[in-house]
Structures are given as structure tokens and as C-alpha cells.
Amino acid sequence: MPPKIQGEYPANWREIAAGVKKACGGRCLRCGHEDDLPSGHLFTVHHFDGDKGNAAWWNLLGLCQRCHLSVQGRVNPDQRYFLEHSAWLKPYVAGYYAFKYEGEQLSREQVMARLDQLLAHESLT
């Protein structure tokens, strides 16, 4: 079951979403498709933990609409996974775990330096 959608968008949401799009190079993190409305690959931002007010980098996944709907309907960060996460998702999961299990808001660089350690929380839960 996916996380419950909650919270309110921050007042500067447009700027935040534009920054996510820029950081992704205007391409979906999951499928790599460019922002393209006619083909259904409209760029969106998925809130990994379901909280629209949480603008932590690890909570904002730049996805096309197709991938957004797929991920939102099937991925719950609180659910234990028995298979290895896709490479594109690992940093976001690890950032979430750093916050949830260790109480730390780490930068992407800090998460990448501790990726295996943070992802090990799955086997501990």
C-alpha cells in the first residue's frame, strides 16, 4: 500500500519543482524520457514519503507522469523490500532511511558516501 498523501505544498513549490526538473536534466529518473506532454511523459515531481510539504531532496523524485503513477501506486518507503532497489532509486531510499532511522538530513553526497550502510536498514527492519 502506498504512503498516504498528506501536507500542503510549500509557497515556493514552483521554484522547487523547477529545481528538481533541472537537476534531472529534464528527463525522468526512471525511464529517461524527456518532458513530452503529447506522449504522456509530462514531467512531474513525486513525493516519496507522500508528504507534499517535505521538500528534502530525497523526497522529490523527478518522474514522467507514466512513471509517477506506477511508482506512486506501488512503492511505499516504509515497506520492506526483498529485492535490490533499482539504481536510480537507491539514493532516495537511502536518504529516507537516514532521516527515518538515524534522524539525519543528509546531502546527496553524504548519502552516496554511506549508501550501503544506509540501505542496510532494510535488513534490520
pLDDT digits (tens, 9 = 90+) for 26-43: 999 999 999 888 887 899
Which residues neighbour 111 within 8 Å (Cβ) at sequence distance 6 or greater? 58, 91, 94, 95, 98, 118
C-alpha span between 75 and 49 (Å, rounded): 10
- Whether 22 maps to a domain, the answer reads yes
- Domain assignment present for 3: no
Instruction: Report yes or no on 1 lying in a domain.
Output: no
Task: Determine the 3-state secondary structure of 8 from DSSP.
Answer: coil
Pairwise CA distance, residues 74 & 55, whole Å? 21
Residue 8, domain member (yes or no): no
Please check whether residue 7 lies inside any domain of the structure. Answer: no
Question: Taking the mean position of all CA atoms in its chain, how far away is CA 32?
Answer: 15
Range of the domain at 68: 13-124
What's the pTM? Answer: 0.89
Q: Provide the number of structural domains found in the chain.
A: 1
What the block records as the C-alpha cell of 113 is 558516501
Q: What is the mean pLDDT of residues 42-53?
A: 94
Give the separation between CA 53 and CA 95, rounded to whole angstroms: 16
Q: Is residue 2, in this structure, part of any structural domain at all?
A: no
Task: Say what percent of the chain tops pLDDT 90.
Answer: 71
Decide if 107 is inside a domain: yes
DSSP character at residue 125:
-
